[in-house]
Amino acid sequence: MDELLRKVRSGAVKLYALEREVPPGEAVAARRAFIEEETGTRLPAVGAFSISPDRVTKRNCENMIGAVQVPVGVAGPLRVRGEHADGSYWLPLATTEGALVASVNRGCSTITRAGGAEVRLIADRMTRAPVFAATSVAHAAECVRWVGSHLDLLAEAAATTTRHGRLVGATTSVAGTSVYVRLEFTTGDAMGMNMVTIASGAVAAVIERETGARLVALSGNLCTDKKPAAVNAVEGRGRSVVAGVFLSDDLVRDVLKADAAALAEVNTRKNLVGSARAGALGFNAHAANVVAALFIACGQDPAHVVEGSLAVTTVDPVPGGVYVSVTLPALPLGTVGGGTAIETQAECLGLLGVAGGGDPPGAHAKAFAEIVGAAVLAGELSLIGALAANHLVRAHATLGRGQ
């Protein structure tokens, strides 16, 4: 260790290249020791972790010095009645927000007592949108027409780069001489961003060659990845899910301590009118809370919570109670690739029965998406109920206050 640190200090070995000199575990420890020395800050807790650095340092994190631990709570059981997920599930929720797990747990209890959440996957498409420069607006229009009539050719080009991804659609948008082609792919059990980026490169090369439009960037921001965008709310991205449940008047009164009319009014005035007044893209109570907690626990890219927040919650008065639903148009998620193979995250996916690749391919990711949809519904129900019953302040005072 001392000799290795001496080489780092002298510049003979770059900090990022330590794994080339020693095994990953030793490299992480040496890098952490160097940073402690440089900053005068000890990092014993960051250095205490259970995941193996062997794979993580190659695929998930550069310049690794340790790990930050996030508490994982469990909520459930949650009864899900989907086409891909059908059963009772315990939800692993990684969070530091007191009261969140308790709130989702109450929503799970409500849904389960009601017989379970109906959940349906309504779309499955990951997107990448390269931008091209045309020479004129006439040329831009020609490019649009060419793309629209040659999807089969573009799909063949994409297929040369992947066994699991498939190009299933392409929509175009023009702004002056800029031509955006929003490519849509199915990605099996993977979230698929790397897969579709590589495939999009092959597709873009064909478009450039055949139309004469110049490829400017492989991502033109119409994808739209990790940024709030109306296109994702309207067209969807990743997996698109709808979840709903009928709650009787008695159940609303017994579990949520409110009444159906109050639930409907809170949802209308807060989630719908309030969100519209704010110019929000999501019309929900706190969908991002539940998406984030599940994504962090299960090895998803936390930045995709941006898309996950584009949810719409509705409360429809019906005879004998209310029908509550949540629509999540953009859930970029997967059960293979990314952080899903890290030991702790793989265990959380295993808790849901969706770790690794499914049979047939895509089955696990679709089931996971339906579980996420039902979990968000549980979170929405609980918070709307707490607001309707004026219990929110009490819950946070009891469970969420710092000492």
Structure tokens at 20: 């080339």
Number of domains in the chain: 3
CB of 218 within 8 A of CB of 351?
Answer: no
Cα-Cα-Cα-Cα torsion 291, 294, 298, 299, nearest 10 degrees, comes to 40
Per-residue model confidence (pLDDT) at position 2: 85
228 within some domain: no
- 96 and 115 part of one domain: yes
CA distance 284 to 402: 26
382 within some domain: yes
**DSSP three-state, residue 300:** coil
Kind plus residue range of the DSSP H or E element containing 143? helix 137-148
Q: Is the pLDDT reported for residue 108 higher than 90?
A: yes
User: What average pLDDT is seen over the chain?
Assistant: 95
- 105 and 166 part of one domain: no
Reference 293, options 305, 283, 306; nearest CA is: 305
pLDDT tens per residue, range 34-53? 999 999 999 999 999 999 99
pLDDT tens per residue, range 154-198? 999 999 999 999 999 999 999 999 999 999 999 999 999 999 999
Structure tokens at 261: 């009319």
Residue 24 makes CB contacts below 8 A (sequence gap 6+) with 53, 54, 56, 57, 58, 64
- 104 and 154 part of one domain: no
Q: Does 97 participate in catalysis according to the annotation? A: yes
- 294 and 366 part of one domain: yes
Kind plus residue range of the DSSP H or E element containing 155? helix 151-159
Structure tokens at 280: 């929000």
- 180 and 316 part of one domain: no
- 238 and 378 part of one domain: yes
Q: Which amino acid is at 40?
A: G
Cβ-count burial of 21 within 10 angstroms (0-12 exposed, 13-18 middle, 19+ buried)? middle
Reference 66, options 52, 48, 42, 54; nearest CA is: 48
Reference 121, options 295, 366, 365; nearest CA is: 366
CATH at 47: 1.10.3270
Q: Of residues 208, 210, 301, 347, which has the active-site annotation?
A: 301
Measured CA to CA in angstroms, residue 221 lies from 95, 158, 253, 261 at distances of: 30, 20, 46, 42
- 48 and 91 part of one domain: no
Q: Of residues 97, 142, 156, 249, which has the active-site annotation?
A: 97
CATH at 141: 3.30.70.420
Q: Where are the beta strands (DSSP E) in 273-383?
A: 312-318, 321-331
- 253 and 392 part of one domain: yes
Name the band, by pLDDT with cuts 50, 70 and 90, for residue 403.
Answer: very low
Q: Is the pLDDT reported for residue 394 higher than 60?
A: no
Of the residues 182, 217, 252, which one is the last residue of a structural domain? 217
223 within some domain: no
Q: Does 304 participate in catalysis according to the annotation? A: no
Structure tokens at 109: 């209890």
Q: Is the pLDDT reported for residue 402 higher than 90?
A: no
Residue 167 makes CB contacts below 8 A (sequence gap 6+) with 151, 154, 155, 158, 159, 183, 184, 185, 199, 203
Q: Residue 191: which domain range?
A: 130-217
pLDDT tens per residue, range 50-69? 999 999 999 999 999 999 99
- 45 and 64 part of one domain: yes
CA distance 392 to 230: 30
CB of 121 within 8 A of CB of 84?
Answer: yes
- 272 and 392 part of one domain: yes
188 within some domain: yes
pLDDT tens per residue, range 69-102? 999 999 999 999 999 999 999 999 999 999 999 9
